[in-house]
Every structure is written in structure tokens, then in C-alpha cells.
Structure 1
Amino acid sequence: MIAQSVKSDLLQAGLVPNIDKSVWEPVQLIDWLGMSWDSNMGILRVIKRRVDDTIQCIDDIVSKLPRITARRLARFVGIGIYRCQQHWLRILGELCRDRVFQNTLTRVLQASRAENTIKKYKNSLAAWEVWCRLNRVSPTSPSNLELSRYFIGMFNSDAPYSRMEAAFYAIKWKIDCLPNMVSQNPCDSKFIHLLLEGLKRILAKPVSNRKEPITPDILHALVVKFGSGDLKCTRLCSMFLLAFAAFLRYEELANLKVCDLDMCYSHIKVFIEKSKTDQLREGAWVVVGATGKSTCPVSMLQKYLVCAGINDPNSEEFLFRPVVLLKSLNKYVLRSGKLSYTRCSEILKEALEAIGLDSSKFGLHSLCAGGATAAAEIGVPDRLCKRHGRWKSDSSKDRYVKESLSNKLVVSMNLGI
């Protein structure tokens, strides 16, 4: 009766009550001031809509760290001021701690794999999750039969084995990262391993596009052709001689900075900050000696530094950078940034074609492989060769070495027949 009297007085005063938010009958459970009041159980709790709004606000802030707009920060502070009750602050703190924990846990788990591996996993997992949605399959707890359907579907659509292998390891890693997984990872089952082994045998193809190694004679021809030219030509010679002598892969060469060099009279020391063979990112120093020949990597690098005007040994700039032609001065100068893989490959192929070689037979890996092959032919001990090339095993090193015909004939020529 009192509620109806209040309602009547409001209407007579010209005020219009909010029909959706007003309750005119006695109840024991009501949502009021952002709280759920339960007089029957004696419980006071935050309503779900407020919790969802707070979680969304925290997600917005965490996703934009470390750069947060004033509007987002003001909204977050406003939530805390408006809902300043002790129980609400406790819940808010728990939500923040949980969100920070989840983000930190994700970042740490992703650090268990190389950056490029994580990128490959994300692409494979995206395709896997689309297939799971279409086929109503749980992406984190598939059965052996469901996994086999996925791989057989890829096989029937003429997908290469490399894509199937990438998908397998991505799914396995994703499930391994679940903290609450109690059953065995389905990717560890013998059935799935036999299935992949069968697919691998069916789809196996001989390696026909392995590139030839660069030889010292090729480098000598490049120096004769380009060694006495401008900055652009000197950069070309310095890059290739250093990559050959230090067994550098593209990523290692392109990421070299000026401060990574320690120049000495008889040699240079090159610091490789990160490499695909250095999973723990400990870094490695590679020593390259001065040979005194026209193809000496030390003297050519010194010449390049002079031509490029690089004087600060502590500079954080990339060592080998793109060049641009200043028409007003009619000379090449360095610009910022590093050389892309495509541009490095183009420089190598254009240079090889300029000395009359078929550039399709060579790639950027030919420089590292050429250095390793040359070292093997003159009998450099395997221990030194692996250390110089940052290889952990003989099998990794041997992939870069192309045996000469004379070495291949050693076995059959010494059998005593």
C-alpha cells in the first residue's frame, strides 16, 4: 500500500517513474545501486552487468599497454570511485590480478618457442579453429578420429606435408599450454603419429631445388667487378665477403649493427645477437681474420665504413642499410632501416648475373654454405667449424657442406680392390 501511495504521489507531482527500474511490490531480492540485495540469505553482491563492464574496461586498458588514452584511464578510475565499497574494491583487485596473470602467463608460454614459430603456429591454429567451428569440434580437446578427419581432409585437398606438420605441432603446443588439462594430449597418441608418418611417406618428394654454394672464385670475380666502385658496390662486396667468412645467414647479416663490430688490425670480431640456432638468445662472437688478399673481408669492411661515413663505433644503426642516390651530389648515401630479404636476394642475383652466372642456382644461403664447404675442403676440424657457424650438431653442419667429387671417391678408392 505504501508503495502504491508513493507511486500515486509521484504521478500527481508530474514526475514519471521509470517502469523498467521501479519495483512496486515487496521482494527479498532486488538490484539497487549496482548491487544485488538478498535479504533472505543476507548476501550482498555485485550484479553481473557491473562485473562484465569492469572486465571489459580492464581488457581495454591491458590491450593498449603501455599507451593508454586519458579517456580509458578516466573511465577506469571512475569505476573505482563510483563503486568504492570495500567488497567491490576487493573484487576489482582480484579481477586486475587475474587479468595481469593471464596476460603474463600467455607471454611466458609464447616465449617457449621462437618468434617465427609462434607466427607459424597462429596461422595454423586459425585454420584449425575455423574447421572446428564448422564441424562442431572442440579445438582444445579433439578425439583421435576428429584429428584424423582434419589431416585426411588436408590430404584430400592436396595440401603439402609441411602444412600438415605445422598444423600438428601448433595444435599440440596449444593443448600443452592448457593449465587445467588432465587427460593425455591427443597429439601424443600412437595413432596420430602413425597417421602423420603415413602421410609423410606418401607425400615425400626429393629435394630438387637445393642451391649451389658460393665459391672463393666467384667472390674473387665479384671483387674484380665491383670492388673499386662506389658505396653501392662496396656494400655489395663487404656484405658477401663477411657472410661467406663468418657463415652468416640472412637474419644474422641483416640484423648486424655497427656496435656489434670490434675492429682490430689483424681481425674483426662480430657479435651475433640472435640466431635461429641460439634459442636461449645468449649471443655469440665470431672472429674473422684479415687475409691480405683482394677478397679480404676485413679490409673490404673497413673500406665500406669509410665510404658510408660510419664513424661512431657505438652506433645502434644497422651495419648494412639501403642506399639512395642523391642526384644533386651524384653519389649514393645510406638511409635508415635494414635490408629486406627480397632486396638482399635481388642484390646477390644481379651481381651474379653481371659476372655471367646463372643466378637461379644460388640464394642467400649459398654464402653460408659456401663458407662451410670451403672450410670442409681444406680440412678445418669439425669442432671449429661448428663453433664458427653456431651449429649444435654434425647433422646441422653437414646440411651446409657440399662434398667435392674427390672426397666422395675416397671411400671406394681405398677399399683395396
Structure 2
Amino acid sequence: MANSIKNDLIASGFVPNVEKSQWEPVQKIEFLGACLDSKDFTISIPKKRIDKAVNTMLEIENSIRQHRRVHVKKVASFVGQVISMSIVVGNLCQFMTRYLSIDISLAPNWSYFIKLSTQSLEQLSFWKKNLTEINCRHLNHNPSYTKIIYTDASTIGYSGYEVNTPNGMVHGAWGIEEAVKSSTWRELMAVFKVLKALSIVLASNRVKWFTDNQGVCSIIEKGSMKTELQDLAFKIHSFCVKYSIIVDIQWIPREKNQIADYLSKIIERDDWGLSPFIINLIIDKWGTIDIDWFASPHNAKLPVFYSRFWNEFCAGVDAFSANWNEKFGLFVPPVTLLTRVLSKMLKENARGIIVIPCFSDDIEELPEVLAEKVPLIPELLVSARADSTTKSYMNAFQRWRFWASSNSVGEEDILPAKPFIFALYLCSLVQSASGATSAANNGIKDRLFKRHGRWKSDKAKDGYIKDSLKERLLVSQTLGI
């Protein structure tokens, strides 16, 4: 058949190149700069191309050793040779030559001698050690993923979660400097922080990673010409190598990443912590503390702590799922969890120190000059509303003001009102309502308990009175229903 094809080509006017033609069937052939092996089903770079790249590296090293600089064309030649091997090595060719490309871009012209950065020298060393070992790609490779991650970042913080891991959510807040970084930097940092937080879960796994930032996908696969982003991408790559994590990152539209998007915008408003001074006082009085059960990366004062979400430093998440009586712990919980914390401590006979905040009066802490201006707040709040809105709520507010004044509450605590005092007021309303109902059902004249409740109209008075079941049934009996 080979001879038949050869004769047909010649008869058609074509002149086959004898040196480049292979007329006998073979299982291994060099084609378009690559070696195809149908027996092992692999593809590799020919030895002569590998040797050429190695020789170029040696020339670069020799030039640096003698002159501390190297011709920019020599470096560009090496980068081009490596990138041409991407059919076998993949995106690693571009990723592990980015620092070299950055150094090349800094040269003012092509006749310039450049000084290579430390990162570029490290990349040269990488190719010198690994070029031969990674020169093989299996064509029948069909990867399957054992972990699935979604990540996102906002101006508030970052988040991520592993689909099949219980409590596998990661969350953190940005610092002041981090919050003003570019969206690509924040999304890339989110990937790095989630990697570190879930390192135990992801180690030795092939991970499918989803993000709604296309730039992040490109940077993780190929690197970036921006040094700041390339540094971060290199940290991600090095971390994956250290923990044998293979990441296949893919872009998805924002509407398919809503959970991670929601988590990245969480603000822990009831988060608070202790100063190092207070921690030292506690340790001096009660001794060494083994663990902080309620902390976050930015307020943790002990090396071992539990957090609400996974992060790179915490020992675990969800303190309520742990056994508290095994370690002497520090309990600094959010105020909203105090009841639940005390209940679990009693149930498990926990040992440790619990710290509860005592919030002082804000007005008492004000300087005298500012304290005199507190009465201006009610006027400002009233003027900020439309007249119709103010009139609608004025009667209810006047009732609150009258009650507060009658109970010696200062004008500065009437508006804005203190939560605890207003809670007492609501309790008094409940008592007034139940008292009015009781009076009405026992035959007390409306005029008397109307004055007692300080209601100005019958409509206001009737809103607090509930008719007894007997009186309601009497209406049905009278109507013959």
C-alpha cells in the first residue's frame, strides 16, 4: 500500500522528500518536532531538542558566572525553546518561564545584557533538574476528580467550600491594605488561602476548582507578567507541589457561584477579642491555657484555637461539636452565644476561663463638651423624616416619652433609646394591656381604666382590650347562630 501511495504521488507530479518520508509502517515516529509512540501511547520531545535547551541553559549560567549578566536574546531563545515544548509539558512551560519573561521585558533593546532576578535563576534551576524527567505525556490519560472547590472574593473578605466535606467552609476578612487590592489579586489570594485552610482535606487529591474570575484561571495555569500576581501564583503552585495537590481550575459565571459569593460577604458583627494585656493577666492568675474555643485569625491570642470557619491557622471549626472537658480552655464567645456556651460548659463539666464583656455607658465616656450636644440627636432624627411619617408615629413616640419621663429617664436616653430601658417600657405596655382587659371583663367603667392607661381616645383604649370568651359567645347566642 505504501508503494502504491508513493507511485500515485509521483504520477500526480509531486516529488516526495526522501529524508523526511517514511514509507514503512512504524509504531514510533518523529513528527512536527515531537515523538509519537503508538505502542506506549505517549508523546515526547526529541532528544536533540532537549539537548539544545540544556546547552542554552549552560551558556546562560556560564555568562552569569563570568559577567553577572547575560544577553537578552539568549534568555529569549531559551524561553522560546521551552514554550515550544508545551505540547508535551503543558502550561508548566509558560508558568515556569514567567519570571524570565518579566526580566526580558525590562530590557530597553535586543542588544542589551540583563541581570536575572533570583526568581529567574530558580526557574532556570528547575528546568535543569526536571526537563528530562517531565518529557513524557500519556495520550490516554483520563483524570477523575476527587474534590470539588468553589471560591470567591469580595471587598469584604474571601470564601470557599469543598462540596462533599462536612463543615468544609472557609471564610476570612481582608485587612485594610488587602481590601483595596485589585479584584484579580483578591480572587487569587482567595484560592491560596482556601488551599492552605483545607490542606489536610485536599492533600494527595485531584481537585476541580471553580471561580468566577477568568483572569485567575489564566494566571494559575500560565502565570502573569505582573510580578505581584506571579509571586502569588508561584506560591499556589509550590503549595500544590508540597501537598501533592493537582488543581484543574475552571471559570463559571457568577450566578453559578452564589454560595461562595454569599459567604465572602459575611461580616461577623458580634466578633470581639481580648487584648494581650488581659490574656497575660488571665495566664498569671490561672496558669497555662490549652485552647481558645472561640477565635478567628485576626483576634486569636493562643496558638491553638477553634474558629467559626476553616482558615489556615485554626485547629478546628464549630467548637460546639468538640469535647470541652479534655482541655483547659479560654471561652470568649460572641454575646449571642453566651447562654448556649454556659449550658454546654455545665453539661460537660468543662474547665477553663469564660470572659463576658461589660459594655459601659457610651454617653458617660464622652468629653463634657460633646455630652452637651447629645440632645441634638433627637432633633436631627426627626428632621430626617418626612412630615407625614413623623405625624404617623408621633402619638406612639409621645406615649414612650411620657412613660420615660415619669420613670426618671433622662432626655438623652429617650431618643435614641437604650435597648434595656425600652424593653422595660414594652413590658409595661404588656402589663397595661392585660390589666385593661381584666378591668373591662370585671365591669370597671371605661372612663376609669382609660384614665389609668393614659389613653386619649376610645380607639387607642379599645386596641388594648380583649373581649372575654363569654362575651364573644353571647353575641352568637343573641344572633341565634
Question: TM-score, structure 1 length as denominator?
Answer: 0.30
Q: Which protein has the bigger helix share? A: 1
Q: Which protein has the bigger strand share? A: 2
Max Rg structure: 2
Question: TM-score, structure 2 length as denominator?
Answer: 0.27
